[in-house]
Structure 1
């Protein structure tokens, strides 16, 4: 490894002997076994477009192999990257001119969505192996003719040639996750009766032709890999045993096999959230495909640390380990480990709210504000021209991130938190069942503040006399927001909910043990006004206490306010659905809260229902604690910033970005 990425000391090599062992893929040497497999960022490969800078950051961080996100091989499939077009070659060349100074090797995934496309970019129906609709899109595709098949095979070959001409080190054929090649491989989607359907060998024919065409076009020394679904996770689909046979049938016609779980039939299990699946959750299926295979292999699935990767490699489960989401959260995992700075590695908390949910044009990371902004932001901010005294009020994620960024700039930073713990609402949310990973980020921030010399005072509110005594140059107000308790609901904003039995009403914070508790309850109505994870956490906490829970929501179901709920909320939906103590009343609002329970009105129809309950939990709008900022600005003439929920209540990602933006600006 070069000086830029760090040279592993003998002690590091001893601790991670498999991670830092180079690996040969055809004619290409991979410097270590850490891989960033393909994922889409919606960034173009144009000057200043962001894709080059994103991958450069992972190269600097010491990744061994990175695979560019899916690139279209045919005009029928729209995508930011389209290497079937020769105009892509100069863009690749510009990228490689910047990448080549680092030891990281770079390849391109080649892809056609088939029936998984939103639309056929050429017009008309989507193409597929058969006429089976995609489970998410729902549109019926047409079975590809021989001419279509030949055209797409040629598209793969031409695209691979252009990738090689652009200077990249290899290609990966996407043959998994229910995309086009997988649609041919799978008995679920391939109902053809010609030479491309029926028996396994026929279903493999399309992929064999693609591999052969690429090999003929690019030569024997250009690495070709294939990504397979280790388990389609649908009745009648390919199992790990089937995927293993496919991998063995390909033999040494490919240089590596990349096994990844699932597809569109259970999307949440393809990119699982931290609240639903354990670390390494894909390994039981994937290792049946990869262990002992004749060619090098890659596995993935919530593998978050080099210690985890070393165990996978040492056990023989695979030859390389992909750490995509971990490397989004911190692209310097390898470099920091090499430098003995493991404690500085920012943890991925597995919410999917920035990386997976952000794939439709707002790619980023909940915990890493730099992800997706590499064009304008460096990993750490540059030193400030002069040191200032910065006072931060509020120890939630916005305040902590602001304090960290300001300290990295070289400022003298002090943080006040009125409670006895850091973390704000994240710490409250992390107390819910299945959400302990959520707190890892604020624990990391607390460690960072200690490392950077930020003075932290707990149990101290941000008040005018304290500001006057400390005489800061800058005050950052990050005191958060509180649940509204005035009966406001978003569905009936002009009215206030009648709460004759106010003593029966609780907030989500009280359920989770902050500011009071629900000591005794047996039948609880939870009103979900915003569709966020907060209501899910409340429901699961109450179910864990053996309460009967009736969730009333103005939405069609719960979790719909989350970005990309199929990947962010589905694991929780799976846990809650069918629970004997749970009932869902959707598309409805509360009309009143009485001694016997609540009145419910169904939106649209106007029908009403009385629901008996001894306790009601309101989950909805929060009110910014703006009065703190108003008081401070009256007595302090210096620079004041109001950030996070204290400004406008929002999501964790917004709070972290707010803090980073202000901290970097001082």
Structure 2
């Protein structure tokens, strides 16, 4: 078969190990880390899914090598903890049996121990160690590592690598980036030592060299060692790309694969994990430059999810391997689809940070577009029904389409009715926002998958009680969504007002002086888009803070974008009336102010279509309500509920 993306699909040999393609699964931390810091069964299934999906390698993260100086609740591997070695062995086997190479990331957070603890107060009870003494931005004291402790940590890297090899892992990744301990030694910002580990670049690289040598001694020649580094720290005081090149040159002779990332967690989370507001592949230039100066294969990453872009990266010689993390949560089968020329079926990552926010808040995983993530033990295969029946889905939004696809995969006869002339629901409105276009594409892809699954799609069809009774269905899934809130504020239905959901249809009505009325997530994102179009934007919000409905990872990035795009924010302002000159608002003291603007974007939220639900709720033997028609919520909720409603038929 002729491959559409031959370079992505081409095998690669690293060390003495052959990898089936150039698409690798980047390090992602598990969820059910046991009290003893072993890999729980759910995490084993979590990693296995990417192996099953066709990735060339799957990296387990993070294995803390020296708990005595890094007491974070992450994976540990030793022989005295019951279940430690066996948990790693079962995980390596789960990955390898699908043809992927199992890798493990060896790590030490240094002075940032405890970053991923859900209970942040526990950080104060951990020992914070770094290359130099100091005080963290949050006030925690950092102690300087002695040469004796450094030697012990170096030995621990080797010991853990040897145990990982014993467990069946076939590659080791050493984490030297993102502000963790080895990066702290490399960085002039963190490292002010005056001994053999500080000062000159050669001295600052010494610790990394000793770590790699320790690992090599334990795993032997030919066993692939991958070094993950930040090509540049990308902040003032850190090392730049030119110095990153020199660091790479000083380490390349000891390693088999150089994995080039970017930035630090502490100085730029959205740089290390590119957000929806920046281009895909924005960090690839770092790997491309470093590759010019080293002879070992180079890997790159950074918000990659488009096979065409990744093919070009490999074909043009910018890198030899591409890594994905979030993209393989959204669609674990992405590599398999690329290998079989089914790239049009890929469900793309939205870069919404639901996955990382959920881990930070609840210590679990969830993905907006993939209901399996974090719940792989519940089953990853859609099992055919023993009693196929006739199913009607009312509503062609993301939840309704996911329900229809899943029901069809189970062998049911499925009819999907959508009252408008296009599938997608609320996703249709996202096509006008460049940084959210992938949400619109999600609707297009789900529509294709529904057709491919055999779903009968009826557009321009409103589902009523009489319609359901006429079709005589066995099951009805109600996914009629929500509608914009347009309260009875004088002037809010005027010609100068555009409801945010309709912006994609009425873009030409929007003037250069715009007021976004409503500072929730939708309003903030609309304001950012308009500001990027060089419009003068005011953002009005009745509450005292913006976007409380945004997740914990996305919200800080969102607020930074609002600040950087010079959006004029008015919080604590209650809209009283809309005029041709703008919105008259009352502040918290009741004083009136005119916020000027000739166009108003109404973004005051959504309201569940409960009246429609109530008319349909008794129309079939099995009835399920999903998504926004239950309560205005998120794409995540709609897709998750749609999937499980179909499984319950």
Comparing 392-401 and 363-372, the one that deviates more: 363-372
Question: Offset at 1:247?
Answer: 1.4
- The reply on whether 1:92 has 2:88 as its aligned counterpart is yes
Structure 1 residue aligned with 2:59 = 67
Q: 1:346 to 1:434 in 2, by over 3 A?
A: closer
Tell me, what secondary structure is at the counterpart of 1:32?
A: coil
Task: Indicate the residue corresponding to 1:206 in structure 2.
Answer: 207
Give the match for residue 494 of structure 1: none
2:25 to 27, 31, 36: 36
Distance 1:211 1:60, change over 3 A: same
Three-state SS of the structure 1 residue aligned to 2:538 is strand
Which runs of structure 2 are paired with 1:158-173 in the superposition (5 Å)? 158-173=159-174
Q: CA deviation at 1:241?
A: 1.8
CA gap of 1:270–1:84, structure 2 versus 1, over 3 A, is same
Does 2:546 correspond to 1:558? yes
Q: Of 368, 371, 382, which residue of structure 2 is paired with 1:369?
A: 371
SS of the equivalent of 2:27 reads: coil
| Whole-angstrom CA distance in 2 between matches of 1:121 and 1:541 | 38
Residue 644 of structure 1, aligned match among 616, 627, 642: 627
Picking from 58, 71, 83, the partner of 1:77 is 71
| Residues 292 and 316 in structure 1, CA contact (< 8 A), matched pair in contact too | no
Aligned equivalents of 2:22 and 2:201: distance in 1? Answer: 32
Between the aligned partners of 2:321 and 2:565, the Cα distance in structure 1 is 39
Q: Distance in 2 between matches of 1:270 and 1:628?
A: 44
Structure 2 counterpart of 1:109: 105
The 8 Å contact of residues 43 and 80 in structure 1, kept in 2 or not, is answered as no
Show CA shifts across 1:561-615 (max 9, x none): 31133xx2455545442445x31124x241633657333434xxx5856233355
Partners of 1:280 and 1:536 in 2: how far apart? 25
Check conservation: 2:516, 2:527, Cα contact below 8 A: yes
Matches of 1:100 and 1:436, distance apart in 2: 36
Quote the Cα distance in structure 2 between the aligned partners of 1:148 and 1:560: 44
Corresponding residue of 1:598: 584
Secondary structure of the corresponding residue to residue 62 of structure 2:
strand
Closer, same or farther in 2 for the Cα pair 1:154/1:20, shift >3 Å?
Answer: same
1:435 alignment partner, SS class: helix
Q: 1:281 to 1:518 in 2, by over 3 A?
A: closer
What's the secondary structure of 1:50's corresponding residue?
helix
Say if 1:354 and 1:653, in contact at 8 Å, map to a contact too: no
In the alignment, does 2:74 pair up with 1:54?
no
Cα deviations by residue, 1:365-412 (Å, 9 ceiling, x for unpaired): 21111122211121x411011111111111111111101110111111
Change over 3 Å in CA distance of 1:639–1:174 after alignment to 2: same
- The CA deviation string for residues 58-115 of structure 1, in whole angstroms up to 9 with x for no partner, is 2222211111111111222313311246532121122234344332111110111122
Cα distance in 2 for residues equivalent to 1:305 and 1:654? 25
Which residue does the alignment assign to 1:625?
609
CA distance in 2, matches of 1:637, 1:227: 56
Q: Indicate yes or no: 2:526 matched with 1:535.
A: no
Aligned counterpart, 2:118: none
Name the counterpart of 2:435.
434
Distance 1:249 1:525, change over 3 A: same
Structure 2 distance, partners of 1:163, 1:631, is: 59
Aligned to 1:5: none
Verify the 8 A CA contact 1:325 1:355 in the aligned structure 2: no
Q: Output the CA distance in 1 between the equivalents of 2:279 and 2:565.
A: 21
Q: Which residue of 2 aligns with 1:3?
A: none
Counterpart-to-counterpart distance in 2, 1:461 and 1:96: 51
Q: Which residue in the other structure is 2:300 paired with? A: 299
- Asked if 2 retains the 8 angstrom alpha-carbon contact of 1:429 and 1:537, the reply is no
Asked whether the 8 Å contact 1:127–1:141 carries over to 2, the reply is: yes
User: Relative to 1, partners in 2 of residues 1:243 and 1:133: Cα closer, same or farther, differing over 3 Å?
Assistant: farther
Structure 2 vs 1, CA of residues 56 and 546 (structure 1 numbering), >3 Å: closer, same or farther?
A: closer
CA RMSD of aligned residues (A): 2.7
1:484-499 mapped onto 2 (5 Å cutoff): 484-486=485-487, 499=489
- Matches of 2:134 and 2:415, distance apart in 1: 61
Structure 1 stretches of at least 4 aligned residues deviating more than 6 Å after TM superposition: 45-48, 119-122
> CA separation in 1, counterparts of 2:76 and 2:406?
38
Distance 1:466 1:271 in 2: 48
Distance 1:357 1:121, change over 3 A: closer
Alignment partners' CA distance in 2, 1:315 and 1:547: 38
SS where residue 205 of structure 1 aligns?
A: helix
Q: Deviations over 1:93-141 (max 9, x none)?
A: 2223434433211111011112223378793551112245556x56442
Change (3 A) 1:652 1:19: same
Look up the SS of the partner of 1:81 in the other structure: coil
2:645 corresponds to which residue? Answer: 662
The TM-score with structure 1 as length reference comes to 0.88
Instruction: Provide the secondary structure at the position in 1 that maps to 2:458.
Output: strand
Counterparts in 2 of 1:585 and 1:463: CA distance versus 1, 3 Å:
same
Q: Distance in 2 between matches of 1:508 and 1:143?
A: 57
| Aligned counterparts, 1:112-123, within 5 A | 112-118=108-114, 123=125
How far did 1:471 drift? 1.1
Q: Is the 8 A contact 1:416 1:457 kept in 2?
A: yes
Answer yes or no: is the 8 Å Cα contact 2:586–2:593 preserved in 1. Answer: yes
**1:476 is aligned to 2:477:** yes
CA distance in 1, matches of 2:404, 2:127: 53
Report the Cα offset of residue 358 of structure 1. Answer: 3.9
Q: Contact 1:187–1:236 (CA<8 Å) still a contact in 2?
A: yes
Q: How far has the Cα of 1:437 moved from its partner?
A: 1.8
Deviation at 1:39, TM superposition (A): 1.7
What is residue 324 of structure 2 aligned with on the other side? Answer: 323
CA separation of 1:29/1:153 partners in 2, compared to 1, >3 Å: closer, same or farther? same
Range that drifts further, 464-473 or 404-413: 464-473
Q: CA deviation at 1:524?
A: 4.2
Normalization by structure 2: what TM-score? 0.90
